[in-house]
């Protein structure tokens, strides 16, 4: 082989390595949300921040839900490395591990600030990575919403008895079990299927998300009543699943940039969704929707029943019990200052599940 040939071969090899390196610095990311649902705005905002912070070190190309894989297959696509990242709501994967449920939402327990506090300062972030890590992924929580709207129906719901016999679209493991205890039936379906199911009378009602997201779904066109508050999901967390091998291939600096982007997005999402929810509340009124509210005695009864469901569900899986135990320890710890600073505090200290029962199941 001549010197010229050696040089050409070296250049070709270098070009190949450079191309491979460039490919490693370009990620494909999708989400579980279609463009028609406003939840996707949290994903878009995170990608925008991440691309600005990482500069030339990483480029994330984002695709709306369904463009690459169906929503229910995003988890598997990230786990297998088919794509590097996928945005989600953790509760969708509770069938794989029930611990994903409290990582996504709680029934009458956490509010949005509780999730932010717990994730950022009380060890919650480590538990996301522990549970997602069982599936070869890293997780960055980057979106939070406060309690969901509640049920949207064509028959008025004022008391818990009004839920009996109703077929209601509802997400969440514990949420479905709680509804069954109240005499209703859980129907699971993707957000994009709710409108037609309500329109055709396949279901008697539905919950989905915060008022702004529900309005973007057009639910005001196919329902007459809205029962508040959304006790079934007192807050929700969203974030990005990242393939562990793809994460490990990044420099520590780029990893830190992504963490900063996620933290910034987490706080932005709270104020963004609360502002949009406020605007959408008025839009539902203007659309002629009649809004009802459960009385305090009803909500206290829901709390008691939710506590039982949480205790039962947590004790079926040590991973779930571990997550709930951490959340309850946070609530007990934070209560010292939160209760002392009332009424200027950040939310309530709920009369939640028996922490010792769950502690016993976590060991």
Residues 128 and 272 in one domain: yes
CB 273 within 8 A of CB 212: yes
pLDDT digits (tens, 9 = 90+) for 120-136: 999 999 999 999 999 99
What pLDDT, on the 0 to 100 scale, is given for residue 191?
83
**pLDDT at residue 262 tops 80:** yes
Residues 194 and 325 in one domain: yes
Question: pLDDT-derived band of residue 8, with 50, 70 and 90 as boundaries?
Answer: very low
Residues 302 and 205 in one domain: yes
Of 93, 194, 211, 215, residue with least CA distance to 148: 211
Please give the mean pLDDT across all residues of the chain. Answer: 92
Question: pLDDT-derived band of residue 261, with 50, 70 and 90 as boundaries?
Answer: very high
Mean pLDDT of all residues in 150-164: 95
pLDDT digits (tens, 9 = 90+) for 83-115: 999 999 999 999 999 999 999 999 999 999 999
**pLDDT at residue 240 tops 80:** yes
Residue 169 among known ligand-binding residues:
yes
What pLDDT, on the 0 to 100 scale, is given for residue 2?
40
Residue 12 lies in a domain: no
Residues 303 and 158 in one domain: yes
Gyration radius of the chain over CA positions: 22
Question: CATH code at 62?
Answer: 3.40.190.170
DSSP letters along 70-111, please?
-GGGHHHHHHHTSSSEEEE-GGGGTTT-TTHHHHHB-SSS--
Question: pLDDT-derived band of residue 345, with 50, 70 and 90 as boundaries?
Answer: very high
Q: Measured between alpha carbons, how far is 157 from 161 in angstroms, rounded to an integer?
A: 8
Residue 207 among known ligand-binding residues:
yes
Residues 220 and 252 in one domain: no
Residues 47 and 128 in one domain: yes
Question: pLDDT-derived band of residue 309, with 50, 70 and 90 as boundaries?
Answer: very high
Residue 67 lies in a domain: yes
Residue 13 lies in a domain: no
Mean pLDDT of all residues in 17-34: 71
Residue 20 lies in a domain: no
What pLDDT, on the 0 to 100 scale, is given for residue 6?
37
Residue 266 lies in a domain: yes
Residues 199 and 267 in one domain: no
Residues 124 and 155 in one domain: no
Residues 171 and 73 in one domain: no
pLDDT digits (tens, 9 = 90+) for 180-205: 999 999 999 888 899 999 999 999 99
Least confident of 142-146, 208-212, 313-317: 208-212
Q: Which two tokens stand for residue 166?
A: 């109703």
What pLDDT, on the 0 to 100 scale, is given for residue 190?
83
Question: CATH code at 167?
Answer: 3.40.190.10
Residue 65 lies in a domain: yes
Residues 134 and 87 in one domain: yes
Residue 263 lies in a domain: yes
Residue 14 lies in a domain: no
128: domain range?
25-147+235-276
Count structural domains, the chain: 2
Residues 70 and 190 in one domain: no
Of 236, 258, 239, 237, residue with least CA distance to 247: 258
Residue 238 among known ligand-binding residues:
no
Where do we find the tokens 């320890």?
329
Residues 202 and 118 in one domain: no
Q: Measured between alpha carbons, how far is 274 from 135 in angstroms, rounded to an integer?
A: 33
User: Global pTM?
Assistant: 0.90
Residue 46 among known ligand-binding residues:
no
Q: How many CB atoms lie within 10 A of CB 19?
A: 10
What pLDDT, on the 0 to 100 scale, is given for residue 344?
95
Residue 208 among known ligand-binding residues:
yes
């Amino acid at each position: 082989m001549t010197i010229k040939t050696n040089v050409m071969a070296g250049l070709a090899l270098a070009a190949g390595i450079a191309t491979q390196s460039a490919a490693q610095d370009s990620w494909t990311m999708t989400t579980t949300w279609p463009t028609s649902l406003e939840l996707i705005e949290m994903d878009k905002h995170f990608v925008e921040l991440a691309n600005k912070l990482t500069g030339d070190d990483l480029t994330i190309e984002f695709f709306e839900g369904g463009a690459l894989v169906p929503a229910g297959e995003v988890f598997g696509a990230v786990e297998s490395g088919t794509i590097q990242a996928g945005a989600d709501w953790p509760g969708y994967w509770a069938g794989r591990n029930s611990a994903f449920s409290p990582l996504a939402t709680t029934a009458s327990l956490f509010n949005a600030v509780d999730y932010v506090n717990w994730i950022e300062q009380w060890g919650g972030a480590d538990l996301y990575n522990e549970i997602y890590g069982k599936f070869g992924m890293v997780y960055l929580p980057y979106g939070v919403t406060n309690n969901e709207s509640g049920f949207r129906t064509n028959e008025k719901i004022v008391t818990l008895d009004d839920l009996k016999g109703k077929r209601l679209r509802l997400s969440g493991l514990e949420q479905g079990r709680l509804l069954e205890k109240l005499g209703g039936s859980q129907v699971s379906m993707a957000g994009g299927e709710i409108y037609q199911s309500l329109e055709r009378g396949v279901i008697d009602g539905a919950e989905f998300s915060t008022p702004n997201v529900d309005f973007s779904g057009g639910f005001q066109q196919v329902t007459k009543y809205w029962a508040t508050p959304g006790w079934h999901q007192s807050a929700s967390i969203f974030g990005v699943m990242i393939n562990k091998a793809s994460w490990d291939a990044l420099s520590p600096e780029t990893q830190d940039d992504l963490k900063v982007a996620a933290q910034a997005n987490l706080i932005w999402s709270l104020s963004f969704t609360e502002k949009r929810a406020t605007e959408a509340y008025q839009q539902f009124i203007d659309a002629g929707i009649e809004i009802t509210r459960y009385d305090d005695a009803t909500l206290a009864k829901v709390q008691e029943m939710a506590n039982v469901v949480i205790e039962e569900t947590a004790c079926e899986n040590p991973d779930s019990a571990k997550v709930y135990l951490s959340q309850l320890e946070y609530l007990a710890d934070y209560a010292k200052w939160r209760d002392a600073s009332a009424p200027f505090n950040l939310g309530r200290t709920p009369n939640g599940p028996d922490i010792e029962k769950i502690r016993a199941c976590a060991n």
